[in-house]
């Protein structure tokens, strides 16, 4: 009889854990992430930087997104190649540099808070392009994951 109680207790604990995990994955996303009902097409090459002049440090340095609201995604890129920000839940830090295709993010690290109903798409950033006052952010598989609007110039 004790063996059956152990099996039933284990099954109940497993079911409860699955329900908790399913609840963490649900909810409405915030921020400007790109979502679709079908898997993204990764067969095309990485989107080219906007036509015209290549992205310069002056184009990239500054604040992107709503840095005054920690519940919204934002990045601040500084002239020394450092970045900081938030994905709407977790703090982000790392480095950035210009390459032939735009901006490459390196050593991106984040806190691991368990926020509910927050789409933490920005923590998956690997690269970006800039067109005017819009930064388009890409994941490591070169799929667009979101955009940020310029909200401030380079910090003094």
Grade residue 142 by pLDDT with cuts at 50, 70 and 90.
confident
75 in a structural domain: yes
Average pLDDT of the segment spanning 45-55? 56
- 88's CB contacts (< 8 A; 6+ apart) are 30, 31, 70, 71, 72, 73, 115, 118, 119, 120, 122
Residue 144 lies in a domain: yes
**Per-residue confidence (pLDDT) for residue 45, from 0 to 100:** 39
The structure tokens listed for 125 are 């950033």
In a domain, 40, yes or no: no
Q: Which domain holds residue 142?
A: 57-152
Q: Note if the pTM is more than 0.75.
A: no
Assess if residue 22 is contained within a domain. no
| Residue 121 confidence (pLDDT) | 93
Number of domains in the chain: 1
Residue 117 in domain: yes
pLDDT band, residue 127 (cuts 50/70/90): very high
What sign does the dihedral 122-84-58-80 (CA atoms) show?
A: negative
Whether residue 19 has pLDDT greater than 60:
no
Query: Looking at the domain assignment, is residue 101 inside a domain?
Result: yes
* Confidence tier at 120 by pLDDT (50, 70, 90): confident
Domain-located, residue 136? yes
**pLDDT, averaged across the chain:** 77
CATH of residue 116: 2.40.128.270
């Amino acid at each position: 009889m004790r063996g059956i109680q152990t099996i039933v207790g284990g099954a109940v604990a497993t079911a409860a854990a699955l329900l908790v995990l399913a609840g963490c994955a649900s909810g409405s996303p915030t921020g400007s992430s790109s979502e679709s009902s079908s898997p993204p097409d990764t067969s095309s090459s990485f989107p080219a930087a906007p036509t015209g002049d290549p992205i310069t440090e002056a184009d990239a340095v500054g604040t992107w997104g709503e840095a005054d609201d920690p519940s919204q995604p934002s990045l601040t890129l500084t002239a020394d190649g450092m970045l900081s920000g938030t994905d709407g839940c977790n703090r982000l830090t790392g480095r950035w540099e210009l390459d032939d295709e735009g901006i490459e993010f390196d050593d991106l690290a984040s806190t691991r808070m368990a926020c509910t109903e927050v789409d933490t798409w920005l923590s998956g950033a690997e690269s970006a392009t800039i067109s005017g006052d819009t930064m388009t952010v890409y994941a490591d598989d070169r799929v667009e994951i979101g955009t940020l609007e310029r909200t401030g110039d380079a910090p003094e």
